[in-house]
Amino acid sequence: MPGQLQREIKQTKRFSSLEQEASLSIERTAAVFTHAFADAMKPHGITPTQYNALRILRGAGEAGLCRNEIRERLISEVPDVTRLLDRLEEMKLIERERGGSDRRLVNTRITREGLRLLARLDEPVTEIHRRHLGHMSADKLKTLIDLLAIARRSG
C-alpha cells in the first residue's frame, strides 16, 4: 500500500529506501512551506530570502551586521549576499555604512521602512506557521525539531 508521499506525488513504484522516502518527504514539505511563504511575500515585493535578511537585521538592532555575519545567519545559502543586500538597499529597506578605520568593513542596518515592512508581515507569517504546523501538539513539534536537527548534523 503506497504511503502518503507516494500518493501525493502519484508515484507507483516503491521508494528504494526509507532514507530516500524521508529525504523526499522533507524536500516536499519544504517546497510546500516555501511556496506559501513566497506567496505571502510577493505582494510586498520581496523574496523569502530578503525577508530572512531583514529579520536578521531587525534582530541585530542599531549595531547592525557586516555582510559575512548576515550570510552565516541566513536560513538558505545564497551565492551572492552582496547582490541580495544591494537590492534591499535599492528598496530603501536597509542602509550600509563603511567602517571608520577599516574602509573594507561595511556595516548593514535595517531602516525604518524595513522595520515597517516587517511589522506588516509579522502576523501573516505567524499565520502561515500556524496553518502548516498548528495542528501538531507541542510534544510532536519538539520531536520534529529534534529529528530535523539530527538529520542536519549528519550532512
Task: Supply the DSSP symbol for 144.
Answer: H
Query: pLDDT tens across 107-128, in order?
Result: 999 999 999 999 999 999 999 9
Domains in the chain (CATH in brackets) are 20-125 (1.10.10.10)
3-state secondary structure at position 111 = coil
CB 154 within 8 A of CB 81: no
DSSP for 21-81 reads HHHHHHHHHHHHHHHHHHHHHGGGT--HHHHHHHHHHHHHGGG-EEHHHHHHH-SS--S-H
Whole-prediction pTM: 0.86
pLDDT at site 14: 84
pLDDT tens readout for residues 53-110: 999 999 999 999 999 999 999 999 898 999 999 999 999 999 999 866 666 678 999 9
Radius of gyration of the chain from its Cα atoms, rounded to whole angstroms: 19
